[in-house]
Structure 1
Amino acid sequence: MLFLVLAVAGAGSVALAFERGDPGDVAVRSAELREAPGHLTAIRGHLDYGTRVEVRDRREGFLRVRSEAGEEGWLHPSALSRDPVILTGDGDDVERDADRDEIALAGRGFNEEVEERYRSERGLSFAPVDRMEAGGADPEDLRAFLEQGELHLPGGE
């Protein structure tokens, strides 16, 4: 029970960490930019890892942000970092055409060569991982599931 109380208190403090005008960097592979605050609201777009945003507003545990490219919408604060996300390299060994998936994996020390070594040496299949990464639930399906089960999210979603 104490763990639950601490987890809820900690989740609330994340949202309080950002105020209007504060900068933040996207700290997840791909953050869902939503039309309105809420986990089941329409997705307007995605912001890639490292994208710099400015917090414009806070409501219902979400942050309204605007990227330097002009994209605007609502993000959950867990997708942002106060600390700048900096991708570094010496210039000679950095793959210039790395996509966001490769960048995120490289940040954890994992790349195609490491994956291939694990696959060949240990006989591992990454197909289930690939399916999980590619998957995702449609917000409308989630909404229907919640309604059918008469379930309600905090905040009235």
Structure 2
Amino acid sequence: MKRIVVALIAMVGAAAVAMAAAEMAVQVKVGQLREKPSFLSLVLAEAPYGQAVTVLESQGDWRRVACAAGQGWMHKTAIAAPESALLARAQQQATGASTGELALAGKGFSKSVEDKFREQRGNLDYSWLDKMEALAVAPQQLQAFVTEGDLSLPGRDS
């Protein structure tokens, strides 16, 4: 009887480890691996769209992941199961966007993609989008903002 209980405990433990170490993929143009589970935390590395990641731990909406770029925290919205796109296509779910448009949105717009989209959709004004894309904040600027604003980050003493 003890052997059965020990075997069951071992199987449950193995299943928990397997679930904790889920294989996912980056679903945004560039996934940022952060030091702590916070958008205000230091970016340690970046992982490109489609990069495979292994989820090591979960904390709220954040996942600690490991990938070729290193280890760090990524928001759950930046990663998804690699097969999720295949499942959606297989089920032929109706959406307001084509499969091609969804794929392009995940990868981000380049000049050639924007030109093709503009050709298909008419002459659209991208000036405000271009201004937003041009904004860049250096890690040092972000750290100064956090310090000067006396913001507290999860997992750190104030």
TM range (shorter): 0.5 to 0.7
Identity value in percent? 28
Distance 2:50 2:155 in 1: 29
Q: 1:35 to 1:104 in 2, by over 3 A?
A: same
Alignment-derived partner of residue 104 in structure 1:
107
Matches within 5 A, 1:32-51: 32-51=32-51
Larger radius of gyration: 2
- SS class of match (2:20): coil
Alignment-derived partner of residue 96 in structure 1:
none
> Which has more helix, going by share of residues?
2
The TM-score, its normalising length taken from structure 1, stands at 0.56
Question: CA offset at residue 32 of structure 1?
Answer: 0.6
Question: CA offset at residue 41 of structure 1?
Answer: 1.9
Would you say the 8 A contact 2:24–2:80 is kept in 1? yes
Aligned length: 122
The TM-score, its normalising length taken from structure 2, stands at 0.55
Deviations 1:38-83 (A, max 9, x none): 222221221111111111122464211112x363222111111124
Distance 1:105 1:30 in 2: 9
Distance 1:154 1:71 in 2: 21
Alignment-derived partner of residue 81 in structure 2:
82
Question: CA offset at residue 146 of structure 1?
Answer: 4.8
Alignment-derived partner of residue 58 in structure 2:
58
- SS class of match (2:137): coil
Would you say the 8 A contact 1:33–1:47 is kept in 2? yes
Pairwise CA RMSD: 3.6
- SS class of match (2:36): coil
Distance 1:73 1:155 in 2: 14
Q: Does 1:126 align with 2:129?
A: no
